[in-house]
Amino acid sequence: MSTDLRFACRQLLKSPGFTLLAVLTLAIGIGLNTAIFSLIDELFLRGLPFKDTSRIVHMTANAKDRGFSEIPVSAPRFMVYREGQTIFSDFAAENFAAFTLTGIGDPVQVSGGRLTSNYFDLLGVVPLRGRLFRPEEEAKADVALVTEGFWKQRLGGDPDVIGRSITLDGTPHTIVGVVPNQPGAWFGTNPVAEVWTTKPFVIPGFTYERMMRGTGFLRVLGRLRPGVTLDQARGALPALDQSYASAYANNLDRTATTSLKPIPEDVTGNLRPAFATLFAAVTFVLLIACSNVANLLLARFSGRRREIALRLALGARPEHVGGLLLRRVARQVALGFGAGVVCTLLWSRAFASGQPGPGILDPRALAMAGALLAAVAVIATLGPVRRALRVDPVSILRTE
């Protein structure tokens, strides 16, 4: 067996062009399929890692008179609703932000947001270290939460990270907690969110007075109270909308209305048919790749008919010759699989989410890649090997 394996490896080295072509063909097919599966897995199969996501809704504003729908909510509207609503057990908001991180190597931009103090409490996120924000920190405190990826990769996994100071946009912030890496499907993927602070009603470059005129910039979440249905919550919105219009009659968004959407539906939206089509398309690409490799192998084995006939004429059993041919192909398929994994890491980093640094191949995606490898091996090898063994050794040795 070891002799056959060494022989198969030498044969691969003797035909680097053929090997490279087969490997690249398989790499593209496997890489594309696995990367798209990783994205589909994150968006549609696993769901968001939050507590009872079916009870969490995303509130958006709709200004139909101006042709806008499902836009962010303004700060004054959020404040009015937070004080007057009775349909949510928790009501929170996030202000997306990009911070300039300094004092740790070269200055770098990190993604995250400014949150109301209860944002992660609403989602049911449990910190790995430290704690979440406190209500008294929402308006004035310079504190921060960081992800596990940020802690390990930017802070070296410092065991004394709680209480450590990082400088964001020139202002020192004290780290009060480390939270698990958050899903790109919800917090954004380009780049992935790493840091959150308080002071959600702050927009750089906007005065407080201008912000209070009704500019929408908040992503607002609510967790439905026990016993409150989504339809009941939607039915309570007109009264809140009217209350806001009366309190801020001169605001830009005074005529806007609000709507609710469960966050699982909000994340996937109308993407499911598009991703199903995309996955079918890349699977078709893989089948074409398998067909091309099978044709390459068939041509390769046809050129070795004399070698195969000689082995059979000297008494080698067909299964032994077939095993030798399969081992040659297995090397190419394995190399294609390895290259496909590399492609997956690159494409999943571009298409889906990832933490700072190189992409990470999810175990479920790796299992998918293994299943693809098995399918490729069957489709691309059995046909050519069987045809290669259907030879008449005597007639071939006489004519060649």
Pair (69, 214) in one structural domain:
yes
CB 57 within 8 A of CB 233: yes
> What pLDDT sits at residue 356?
40
- Cβ neighbours of residue 354 closer than 8 Å, sequence gap 6 or more: 184, 189, 192, 348, 360
What is the 8-class DSSP label of residue 180?
A: P
Q: Give the C-alpha separation, 296 to 379, whole Å.
A: 13
- The residue range of the domain holding 354 is 2-47+270-399
- Cβ neighbours of residue 359 closer than 8 Å, sequence gap 6 or more: 344, 345, 346, 348, 349
Pair (154, 285) in one structural domain:
no
First to last CA, the chain: 29
Q: Which of 36, 225, 193, 227 is nearest to 120 (CA)?
A: 193
Pair (93, 165) in one structural domain:
yes
Pair (180, 321) in one structural domain:
no
pTM strictly above 0.85: no
CB 146 within 8 A of CB 194: yes
Pair (279, 248) in one structural domain:
no
Domain final residue, candidates 245, 268, 291 = 268
Q: Give the C-alpha separation, 115 to 372, whole Å.
A: 42
Q: Which stretches in the chain have pLDDT values below 70? A: 1-23, 26, 38-47, 185, 188-191, 268-276, 279, 286, 289-316, 318-334, 336-337, 340-341, 343-366, 368-374, 376-400
| Token pair recorded at residue 173 | 């912030």
Q: For the chain, how many structural domains are there in total? A: 2
Q: Give the C-alpha separation, 98 to 113, whole Å.
A: 7
Please give the C-alpha separations between residue 171 and each of 202, 205, 238, in angstroms, as whole numbers: 14, 16, 41
| Tokens 């609703």 belong to residue | 81
Q: Give the C-alpha separation, 357 to 85, whole Å.
A: 43
Pair (313, 290) in one structural domain:
yes
Pair (117, 146) in one structural domain:
yes
> What pLDDT sits at residue 353?
44
- Looking at residue 153, its amino acid is Q
Pair (262, 280) in one structural domain:
no
Give the count of beta carbons closer than 10 Å to the beta carbon of residue 258: 19
| Token pair recorded at residue 308 | 């195969």
b (16+ CB within 10 A) / e for 136-173: ebbeebebbbbbbbbbbebbeeeeebbeeebbbeeeeb
Q: Give the C-alpha separation, 395 to 257, whole Å.
A: 84
Domain final residue, candidates 252, 268, 284 = 268
Pair (215, 352) in one structural domain:
no
Pair (186, 286) in one structural domain:
no
What is the 8-class DSSP label of residue 195?
A: E
Please give the C-alpha separations between residue 312 and each of 11, 24, 298, 320, 381, in angstroms, as whole numbers: 19, 32, 18, 9, 20
Pair (306, 243) in one structural domain:
no
Pair (286, 389) in one structural domain:
yes
Domain final residue, candidates 246, 268, 290 = 268
Q: Give the C-alpha separation, 132 to 151, whole Å.
A: 15
